[in-house]
Structure 1
Amino acid sequence: MTPVPGRAPRTAALLLPAGVAAAHLGPAATWLPAVRLPLFPGLAGTGHPRHIALTFDDGPDPRSTPRFLDALDGLGVRATFFVLGERVVRHPEVVRETAERGHEVAVHGWNHDRPWRPAPARDAAEVARAARAVHDVTGRPPRWYRPPYGILTGGRWAAARRAGLRTVLWSAWGRDWTADATPESVRATVAAGLRGGGTILLHDSDRHAAPDSWRAALGALPAIVAGCREAGLVVGPLGEHGGVPVAGVTVP
């Protein structure tokens, strides 16, 4: 789930010395599209203008993730799955199958907690632990990191760098974690924010979202992929995304 940050970060910041609060929560401003997209295109997942990176958060989930894998097979698309370390060790078979089907497995942290107070040592340990879990199960070192809720703190940015991971957020999402999400609402929300070179955020699990909300994302996949292809865009994982500035291709 990726909700809008509320009062919690501001409250946490008031309880910390100014310098510590700025170093810890300052990078979280990149959650805002108006900050991230123009100023930090690499963090926003900006890639080759004829490519779209398709990504999923919050898995693995033995109930829903295999359905996404089947749907992606049917569409002939590979994607990047940002997984939680605690879920990897509980469901290694799902992660292993994800990798065996040709998808990238990336790090979403060890769990899905909110990082309002600084804990750099814990951040470093948990990101490294999650990266090791992915490596142990897939046999491949992960390349990417996306913090839970998309909230990038100073500690988590440093932790990802120390673990050899590149942090990537997104440029378009489907708001697919909400109780009222539908396949059409997810498709329309993605299309409204997506341009060539963009990175899509969806969720393959409802563990941190409204019950069964993953069904809206799953139902939207064929239309999202079709819209990209009609615009002349290739859909794939972050590893095939490149790093060329956006050229302004709009997805219908």
Structure 2
Amino acid sequence: MNVRSLIKPVARVITAPVGSVRGVWTTESHAVLTFDDGPDPDGTEKVLAALAEHGATATFFVLIDRARRFRTLLAEAVAQGHEIALHGIDHRRLTTLPAAEVYQRTARGKAELEDLLGMPVRWFRPPFGAQSIGTWRAVKRCGLEPVVWGPTAWDWLDLPVDDLAKRAMERMSAGSVLLAHDGFAGDPDLAADQPAPRFDRGELTTAVLDGLSDRALRGVSLADALRTGSLQRWAWFKS
């Protein structure tokens, strides 16, 4: 056992008071599926179909500017037993904004999403995972729990589905939180247009779910994982 593997668990305990959710402690064969940047009329429909076919659930971190336009997709996800969480008013990187503005935007987004859903919202994922102490505090003041991730599908890149699924499975184990996307938002602070990847997000979701099945894991939402598990929290700060 190397020094890093000894220090890591201690660091997680020490940083837990300013921690973000990065996994679930569980004795079940659960892997948490999360999808960002929707709802999207193309990607979300395909992801929902793949999840339904496999009897899986997921947590969808939605953007308010898209939730307003695609309310039917939002309602469809809820009707199928999925969990809805907040990703932001839009896809701005919060670390570029004053903490007071982060608080105002997040509080406004939470209120509007709860109004759209008719139910409370518990989770928040910062766009790009960009988070400082100031933005973390602002989000917590809104009554939301910051959620980041472990494994990622790297699905903002336009690569073959098999390659993306392989990347998604690299660090996957029980209790992992997987970052994937049912839409593509890009970075609104960049002047140049950013083309969306062209692969089929439903096919990628199916490939990931098949990979989980091969490892005797089941894809579930964060809420479903917490029926028998508990949150893993540790510090996550990046620009």
Indicate how the Cα distance of structure 1 residues 129 and 244 shifts in structure 2: closer, same or farther if over 3 A, else same: closer
1:66 to 25, 37, 45: 45
Question: After alignment, is 67-76 or 38-47 more displaced?
Answer: 38-47
Distance in 1, Cα, partners of 2:77 & 2:46? 11
Determine if the alignment matches structure 1 residue 227 to structure 2 residue 234: no
Indicate how the Cα distance of structure 1 residues 244 and 135 shifts in structure 2: closer, same or farther if over 3 A, else same: closer
1:219 partner letter: E
Indicate how the Cα distance of structure 1 residues 233 and 70 shifts in structure 2: closer, same or farther if over 3 A, else same: same
Determine if the alignment matches structure 1 residue 190 to structure 2 residue 168: yes
Determine if the alignment matches structure 1 residue 238 to structure 2 residue 222: yes
Distance in 2, Cα, partners of 1:217 & 1:186? 10
Distance in 2, Cα, partners of 1:156 & 1:89? 24
SS across alignment from 2:31 = strand
SS across alignment from 1:140 = coil
2:94 partner letter: P
Aligned length: 210
Q: Deviations over 1:124-167 (max 9, x none)?
A: 11111111222111111111111000111223212221222111
TM-score by length of 2: 0.79
Indicate how the Cα distance of structure 1 residues 226 and 59 shifts in structure 2: closer, same or farther if over 3 A, else same: same
CA contact (8 A) 1:54 1:80 kept: yes
Determine if the alignment matches structure 1 residue 87 to structure 2 residue 70: no
Q: Deviations over 1:8-32 (max 9, x none)?
A: xxxxxxxxxxxxxxxxxxxxxxxxx
CA contact (8 A) 1:65 1:94 kept: yes
Deviation at 1:46, TM superposition (A): 3.1
Q: Tell me which residue corresponds to 2:154.
A: 175
Determine if the alignment matches structure 1 residue 203 to structure 2 residue 181: yes
CA contact (8 A) 2:43 2:201 kept: no
CA contact (8 A) 1:176 1:214 kept: no
Deviation at 1:201, TM superposition (A): 0.5
Q: Tell me which residue corresponds to 1:108.
A: 87
Indicate how the Cα distance of structure 1 residues 217 and 67 shifts in structure 2: closer, same or farther if over 3 A, else same: closer
Deviation at 1:234, TM superposition (A): 2.3
Query: Could you say which structure has the higher strand fraction?
Result: 2
Deviation at 1:212, TM superposition (A): 4.6
Distance in 2, Cα, partners of 1:222 & 1:118? 37
Higher relative contact order (CA 8 A, sep 6+): 2
Distance in 2, Cα, partners of 1:205 & 1:171? 19
1:117-128 superposed matches below 5 A: 117-128=96-107
1:19-38 superposed matches below 5 A: none
Deviation at 1:118, TM superposition (A): 4.6
CA contact (8 A) 1:196 1:233 kept: yes
Q: Tell me which residue corresponds to 2:4.
A: none
Question: After alignment, is 58-67 or 154-163 more displaced?
Answer: 154-163
1:157 to 136, 141, 144: 136
Deviation at 1:55, TM superposition (A): 0.3
Distance in 2, Cα, partners of 1:221 & 1:240? 18
Deviation at 1:86, TM superposition (A): 1.7
Cα RMSD of the aligned pairs, angstroms, is: 2.4
Q: Tell me which residue corresponds to 2:22.
A: 44
Determine if the alignment matches structure 1 residue 57 to structure 2 residue 36: yes
CA contact (8 A) 2:63 2:91 kept: yes
CA contact (8 A) 1:86 1:130 kept: no
Distance in 2, Cα, partners of 1:223 & 1:70? 13
Indicate how the Cα distance of structure 1 residues 68 and 117 shifts in structure 2: closer, same or farther if over 3 A, else same: closer
